[in-house]
Amino acid sequence: MTITEFLTARLDELETAARTASSYDDDDSPWPSYMVVQEPEFVLAEVAAKRALIADLATFDKVATSKAGSDLSTRLTARGVERGTMHALRTLAQPYADHPDYREEWRP
């Protein structure tokens, strides 16, 4: 499993939970009130924003890699983009560090 696949799976879980939570009224929610920290609409917006960021990072990485020619400057730029992309993905994965599928090499 790649870090992108890991993050996508966690976002899928979060989105499902938010959609499920939004189907309940406050009075019939199966969760205690202290567990309902955020509005489902906010969680769904956050999931959408993180999905867009992950897609953008993948695009930046592909473009940089495809342009990595033989000159040193271009190769260094591509390597910098790759490192920056991985750092951003590792940072997004950090809240899930206790998940069984999380890999130690993903720590920022």
pLDDT in tens, 32-58: 554 455 678 888 899 999 999 999 988
- Confidence class for position 29, pLDDT limits 50, 70, 90: low
Name the residue ranges covered by the structural domains of the chain: 3-106
Residue 95 has pLDDT above 60, yes or no: yes
pLDDT tens sequence across 60-76: 877 776 765 667 777 77
Copy the structure tokens of residue 32: 């205690």
Please, what is the average pLDDT of the chain? Answer: 82
Buried b (16+ CB within 10 A) or exposed e, 18-36: beebeeeeeeeeeeeeeee
